[in-house]
Structure 1
């Protein structure tokens, strides 16, 4: 029997259910003993998290109050985490799975300060320092000053987080190969084992013929018509939905945009639906659009919508800005990489029509499904 898993996470992040709670549900079904140590900053955030936890009553949850990500608050957060850890039965013989590099650093510091022997898996979901740096270059005033202070703190703790000379019993997982390459390149003292686990597509993100028929009938989309889907409708450079939607429609492809933003093209179906209804629209579609600006932040990311598109069997049209999307398309052939949407040609459109939806869905589940990623984590835990 495996040791007890103590999963440590913080905050009411938008992907809490899909990336954390669904994974823990998978572990529960597999019979893995576990506890969730959950951070919150205020009572409102705790209440919002509790709403999400209401569907996961099997979880043993212990709370801790967290503080903003500045060095001055380190002691308080570590103290609260350790108090929470000690409330978990048999915590001394458990191993920690920690979500985010900052929490990972705090847990590492806790292990050092308390002279603990618990093994740690630190799960890095993005290079936050680079994200702060990106924001810093685009703001001013007090906001810019605070970001500078935060960036300096991230530089400080990254060096200590990745220094394997201090604590050896750590494995680091990230969402992509470029993040691991970034760590190796910039932190020469990091000799930790590095693994990759992309963002998860939960079990609800599966292709359904009945959902497909329901939605296509509702919007009078014929069987021989291709339907593309966009999951966001912002104006930021990395999305470019407006121009892509217009171009797709000009090529005879129907489009649904699931967004609060309504596009002025009458041939685009603009909707905003609750998360639980998204699988219906993914099943109805044939194509998923993943279009981002070319930055390291995007290149090293693992977009949740990529996982959801792939697990639903959609053919993915991508502009080559996300490494793991390129890897998926190149490995399974379930998509195409083009520089500009206007370059989508008739041969590629015919290729989309010939796709096996079931085959693509299996490929997507193999790479992004909760079963595949959950089992990969379990195999990793067994090496602790």
Structure 2
């Protein structure tokens, strides 16, 4: 059998919290399904990860080849040209017939590189898939919209927003003059429609993502984990357990989540809050401030490999978000993880995917 090659381009770093679940695991699944497949994983990083970090994140695999490239601080499309130059050099030595680019920045870089190559080489057999995982410009705007800053910094941020918006437009819009096949993979129906309406994406070349959705856990395994974790944490089997898994970030709406749990606790003193987070100190301070009884919650700094195990001990997953377009079109990773262990999800009607399920 002939060897097949896949080139995966990453521009949002292997240190991103979703790298393992949304990037690495789907790649490893593809390698397991097809023994004739080899993958080049190209990651553009601002700083070189330590050897320890690389060993922890990138598993040794004879058909997975990790390539590290330099990423410049983003100011405009011009700063992406350095990535285009590096990718153009790499493509002289590796196979790039099938390319997956995660996000509009990686997609723009791949598209411009292929446009450059097509001037002197036939690229009609090249397939480029751009994974649309959110709205970069709107996410940037959301990150800074409530911060008080001086006039010059605000002008600078508006320029960055406009530049990101232009890149998304160029990455996602339908192009009639391309010398290669470009498709787009969106994470939700709402995002798919947004890309068509706002970025003139081609409906016929736009698909919903499926390969990065976690598989449902076996019910017997869930029951075993449920009993084990509840025994270890001294949680009785008849106690309703609410789970929050995530970080302590403003857009995670932690105060609203704690307020909701406190309402449930006042209705039923058996209710218990299981928090899975690395931000233990910040969450503890907030829980104390909200006067949540210490016997009614526990905070666990769990490794990714243990997340499902702890979630399985719960009955409900809590997922609150601010009312904003970035959340409306999203497909939160935590939602997928909650669903994988069969949790009922309580949310605040800010995510289209969950609204449709309701």
TM bin (shorter chain): 0.7 to 0.9
2:335 to 285, 306, 316: 306
Is 1:130 aligned to residue 138 of structure 2?
Answer: yes
Matches within 5 A, 1:25-104: 25-31=28-34, 32-44=37-49, 48-54=53-59, 56=61, 58-69=63-74, 70-88=76-94, 91=95, 94-104=97-107
- Is 1:21 matched up with 2:24? yes
State the Cα distance separating 1:57 from its structure 2 match.
Answer: 5.8
CA deviation profile, 1:141-175 (whole Å, cap 9, x unmatched): 36534422211212322332214223261110111
Query: 1:225 & 1:312 partners in 2: Cα distance?
Result: 18
Structure 1, 105-114 or 161-170: larger mean CA deviation? 161-170
User: Partner of 2:197: helix, strand, or coil?
Assistant: helix
1:238/1:66 CA distance change after superposition, 3 Å = closer
In the alignment, the residues of structure 2 paired with residue 238 and residue 132 of structure 1 have an alpha-carbon distance, to the nearest angstrom, of 16
TM-score (norm 2): 0.82
Aligned to 1:231: 245
The answer to whether the aligner puts 1:193 opposite 2:208 as a matched pair is no
Does the alignment pair 1:249 with 2:265? Answer: yes
Spell out, residue by residue over 1:165-192, the C-alpha distance to the aligned partner (whole angstroms, 9 max, x if none).
2326111011111212111112337455
Question: Take 2:32 and 2:43, find their aligned partners in 1: how far apart are those partners?
Answer: 21
> Does residue 158 of the first structure (1) align with residue 168 of the second (2)?
yes
> What residue ranges of structure 1 are gaps of 5+ in the alignment?
331-384
Distance in 1 of aligned mates of 2:22 and 2:166:
28
State the distance in 2 between where 1:325 and 1:55 align.
37
1:333-352 aligned within 5 A: none
Conservation of the 8 A alpha-carbon contact between 1:122 and 1:173: yes
Alignment partner, residue 279 of structure 1: 308
**What pairs up with 1:200-211 in 2 under 5 angstroms?**
200-202=212-214, 207-211=221-225
Tell me the equivalent position of 1:8. Answer: 9
Question: CA separation of 1:143/1:177 partners in 2, compared to 1, >3 Å: closer, same or farther?
Answer: farther
Give the structure 2 partner of residue 119 of structure 1: 127
* RMSD of aligned Cα (Å): 2.6
Show the counterpart of 1:212.
226
**Separation in structure 1 between the aligned mates of residue 312 and residue 153 of structure 2, nearest angstrom:** 42
- 1:80-130 Cα shifts (integer Å, max 9, x gaps): 112223332xx15x2101111111011111111110331110001101111
SS of the counterpart of 1:234?
coil
Deviation, structure 1 residue 210: 2.4
* Residues 248 and 254, structure 1, Cα contact 8 Å, conserved in 2: no
What runs of 5+ residues in structure 2 fail to find an aligned partner? Answer: none
SS at match of 1:64: strand
Deviations 1:317-343 (A, max 9, x none): 22221112233x34xxxxxxxxxxxxx
Q: Residue 319 and residue 160 in structure 1: after superposition, are their counterparts in 2 closer, same or farther (change >3 A)?
A: same
* 1:288-320 deviation per Cα after TM superposition (whole angstroms, max 9, x unaligned): 111112211111111111000000111112222
Would the alpha carbon gap of residues 201 and 194 (structure 1) be closer, same or farther in structure 2, given more than 3 Å must change?
Answer: closer
SS where residue 146 of structure 2 aligns? coil
Q: Is the 8 A contact 2:136 2:165 kept in 1?
A: no
Aligned-residue offset at 1:133: 2.3
CA deviation map 1:46-96 (0-9, x unaligned) = 8634530035564122222222332221221101112223332xx15x210
**Offset at residue 2 of structure 1 (A):** 8.4
- When normalised by structure 1's length, the TM-score is 0.77
Cα distance change, pair 55–229 in 1 and its aligned pair in 2 (3 A):
farther
How many residue pairs were aligned?
A: 326
